[in-house]
Every structure is written in C-alpha cells, then in structure tokens.
Structure 1
Amino acid sequence: MADKIRIGVLGASGYTGADLVRLAARHPAMEIAVLTANSHAGKPMRDVFQHLSHIELPDLVTIEDAPWNEVDAVFCGLPHGTTQAITKEIFEKHPQTKIIDMSADFRLRDPAVYKEWYGLDHMATDIQGEAVYGLTELYRDAIREARLIACPGCYPTAVLLALVPLAKAAMIDASDIVIDAKSGVSGAGRSLKENTLFCEAGEGLSPYAVGKHRHMAEIEQEIGTAAGVPDLRVNFTPHLIPMSRGELCTSYVRLADGASARDLRHHLLETYAGEPFVTVADEDVLPRTQMVRGSNYVVVNVVPDRIPGRAIVISTLDNLVKGSAGQAIQNFNVAYGIDETTGIEQLPLFP
C-alpha cells in the first residue's frame, strides 16, 4: 500500500501495547510512527521487549515529546485515569486523528458511573459523548463513523459476545446471570504486583476483586441496554489463573419461558453466521483457552444445566488479542474501511 496510515501507540511498554505493536508491524496498511513509554523514554523498543528485536521500530519517547501532528491514528494503552487528558488534547488539536482507546476511560457512557467504579472524576466529559463502545460485532456501523473508539475490557468482550444476543432476543432472564471468569496473569498488566509474582500466582487459583470488579459496570451497561433493563445487576467473580494469557468465562443463566439451551445455541449460530472471529463450537465441544491462544478468535457454546430452566454459556478468548490489541486493530480496520480481518488473521497457537 503506497500511502500507509501512520499510527502512534501510547503506553507501548505494557503487555497490551507490545501486542499491539506485534500485530501492527505486519499490518499492510499501518506504519508505526510513534511509540511512547515515559519510564523507558529514549530506549529502543527491543531493549524493553526482546521478542520485537527482529523488526525496525521507532525509539520510545515521552508522551510530551510525541509528535501527534505526524500520526493519523492513536492507540491508547495507558492505565485508566491517565488517558483522558492526552486523549482530549489529541482529539481537540488534531481533528483528523482517530483515537482507539484500550483503557477503561471512555467505555462507560455515564461519568457518574465511571466515578463510582474508578474513584475519579472524568476529566473529558465534553468528548465522552463522541465515544463509541468498541465491541466490533455489536457496534460495527457506529465504529465506521467514529473518531473515538472505546475498546471493551477483556472480560466484557468474552461475556457480552456470549450473552448480549440472548438478552436482546429475550431468551434469558437478564436479571439472573452468574458469571464465573478466569484470566491469565497478563491481564493484571506489567507493573510489579505481589499477587502476580511467580510464587504467589503459580500452582494455584485465586479469586480477586470479588463483588467489585470494575468490568461489572461494562457488562451491566451493555446487557442492560440489550435487555431494556435499567440498573441491571449481574453476579461476576474473576479469578487469576497461572498462565500468561487466555481467558474463560462460564455464565449461568435462567432461560425465558419456552426457551431451551439448544435454542440459545441456535440463536448464537444465527447471530454470528458470517462473523470472521466468533465461532460457535460444535454441539458437544466445550470452549477451552487452547482454542484461541494468540489469536483474535472467540469460541462460545451453550450447555444445558441439570437444574431445570437454566443453561450454561461458555466463552473463551485471548485477553491480549481479542480482549485488547487485536480488537483494537479490528476496530481500526472498520473505521478506515479496510477488510476487517487484515493483520489479525493469525490462527491460534497450539500447543
């Protein structure tokens, strides 16, 4: 492609930023022009991530020194609370630039809900209304026209792709959902935390943020919207599992009158027919993280519960790809009118 789209990556020294760079480096329509990482500014990217030493990349710079006027699209991989100010500045000073945010700062439509869950006043409420929730399969048409795309969290992506079609079709009781979720350690980010040390996380399984995980707000927002249930509440418990990447969510749902688990599965098959990255597994196949590792795929399936009137919906994805960087590139492709699968066609790694 003669005229490539120049991109910048905010927070390129994190796991999400690194996976974005890994995928973008082989994207035929992208040129990586700017990489920021304040704590590693001045270093070559290969010094921070040696697995990227095979390719030529710009050196890391501070956010303040980044030439945003030289990029067409910015991917934000910063922690929540740190994205808003720089996003607002880029949005206002560079009106031709598209922003694809992988943080949580623009996912929640109500700033009061954002403050409730994240403990911070939202500093960019004047552009919050411009943000489109970036779950590609559900908001593709809006993403095509958006300048600010708020990519979902990894847990919401897995849960919502499995449950939103069922809630929207009134096939399940949206007020009675129990979600058991498990994620690899990379979901906690690259900064040093005691609970992700090898001796703390290895050879064990541990729940965290029980009853208060911030991704609950996204899940409730989107399922509530689909079901027409304001102030929806779900039961969601995440667990840390000792592997680098991957995520599996098991959702227990109450069936609407007359619906069966087979009906739910058939509806998901109809919903995702033709979707490049969502696979409904064969009837007797249970989704496993090994089916999606390193890829942008999501695998879902529905199993009858032994309790009458209930079903179990299982979904799995790679938290760094479809759960973050891969979905961001999928949204980039949609926003720029590029074939949606470009740059993210990789099949899962196995074993």
Structure 2
Amino acid sequence: MNTQSVLRFATTILIFLLAILVGAALWKHYMYSPWTRDGRVRAEVVKIAPDVPGLVTSVNVIDNQFVHQGEVLLVIDQARYQLTLNQMRANLTASQANVEASVANIAAAKAAVVAKQADYQMYREQSERRQRIPQGTVISAEARSNAMAVARAAEASWHQAQAALGQAQAAHEQALAAESQAQVAVATAELNLQRTVIHAPVDGYATNVTVRVGDYASAGAQRMALIDSHSYYLYGYFEETKLPRLRVGDPVDIRLMAGGIHLKGQIIGVARGITDRDNPTGSDQLANVNPTFNWVRLAQRVPVRISIDPSQMPKGMVLSAGMTATVVVHPKGGHDQTAPAVATSAH
C-alpha cells in the first residue's frame, strides 16, 4: 500500500470518527440541552359576566379594544333596580318609625307600671290599717274585706302593667330586628344597582365581545373576556430528559415565531405533575393499567412557567396569547446540589 492510499484511508477514518463525534454531540445537545421549540405565550384571562340579570342598555367596548382598569364595559337596565332600592328605603323608613313608636310604648308602659305600683302601695297600706282596727268598732268586717280586695286588685293591675312593659320591650326588640333587616335590604338593593354597571377589573384587551344593546344578560353568563395586559408569560414544554438542568431563577432566551422577535425571561415555576394517559383511573378508583408496553418510549413534556421581562419588549410589538416560541435556558453556574430536583415522569 502506497503513501497516497494510506493517506486516503486515514482521511476516511478521520472523517468517519469526526462524523460520529459531531453526531453524538448533536444528539446530546438535542436530548439534554435545556431548550425547546414548544413554547407558548399565555396570559391571565378575566371572564366578564354580569352579577345581576337584565336588559343590556349600553356596550362601551368593541373586540380587541384596550381598556384601563375601572372603565365601564357595559351597563344593565337600572330602572327596575332603582325602583327596588326606593321600595327598600321606604321599608327602612317605616321600620325606623316602628322603632320610635316602640320606644314611646316602652316609656308609656314604664309610667303605667310606676302608677300601678303607687296605687297598689296606697291600697295595701289602707287595707293593712283597716285590718289592724279591732273588730266591733267603727269599721265593719265588710269594709275590711273590701279594702283587702281593692289592694289585691291594685296588685294585679301592677303585675299586668309589668307584663305590658315586657311586651313593649319585646315589640321594641322586634322593631329593631325589622330595622336591621330593612337596612340589609337597602344595602343589597344598592349593591345590585351598583352591579348593573360592569367595570374593567384590570388593564387589558376586551375580546370575544358577544353582547349587544338590547340583549338579555343572565347573571353569571359570560359575555366577553378581558386579557390582562400585565400578565403575559410563557409556558415552555420541556422533555423530561432536560429537566434536571432547570432551576427556578434561570435566565431564558425567548424567540417568537412571529418575526423572530427576541425577548428575555426567567423560570418562575415547574409543573409538579402531568396526566398519565397510559394508566388512567377506572370508574372504581383503581388504576386501569395498560396490558401492553411500547419498547420505544417518548420523553414526556413537562410545563415550565417563564416570566417575560417587559423592559426587553420592543415598543409597539403585538404579543398575543397562543403565540409559539423557541425557548433556550441558560442554567446558572454553581447550582446547589442539595436543592430538590424537578419531578420527572417514571418509565
């Protein structure tokens, strides 16, 4: 074998070894490097639904309109709720009048008790004096009996006045309770009237506005959604083989598929569980184990929540929930090896 053949053979072997090394490096990078193309932009969505039912009299937003917190989104017909509030206020006024009347009744009952007690004391003393007079003198036995009967009648009247006072006090307590109920009814009517005007709870974008003036809005039925403009974040779905290198606080590079926009972020949380599709739970709460097993097993994908740095967002860019992105994590050096590892799916 001449020198040229040896050189060609050595070159071939070198290229083959180099291809193996490059292939192994690429495979390791693909399998274990903390990156994924399966990133999704998400945001907090507030479901806007009336708290009270009624006809819609005003809709102040259109689809995709930006609104500030506190702005009016829609208004429910207020006439019926205003009438209810007026009625509840009238009931409260009547109950307050009943309380004042019950106070006057208590005062009258107390005065009657004092008067009856005085009469009873007077007739009792009179009866006792006549009882002390010896029999056969100027006073007859009949007069003594009459004086005793009058004293007993005065005592009964005194006790009756005391019972009437107790009834007046009970009626006062009932009037106070009725007044409290009327106050609660007024507060409820005022709250219902306030709830006819629906305000934006956060800054955001109104979307899926399906309500129109004249529609009947049922309580609790969603009529639009409000995407919180300050709540955008990212979910990166990482294969379980890549999770051991991820930690909360690691910086993240985000490249949106929409125009290749480059953003910065940070890992803020890792999901601690995903659904096991192969082994669902049966109707009797026992594991429904799949009797077959595939030798080729795909790595499960676990959601990793990533915050988006708003200072790095280009001015005027459109960020929509549902956008896709490529996510590359830059693990920080010197991770604490005693820190709890991210949970992975077992095979």
TM-score of the superposed pair, with normalisation by structure 2:
0.15
Structure showing greater relative contact order (alpha-carbon pairs closer than 8 Å, 6 or more residues apart): 2
Q: Which has the higher helix share?
A: 2
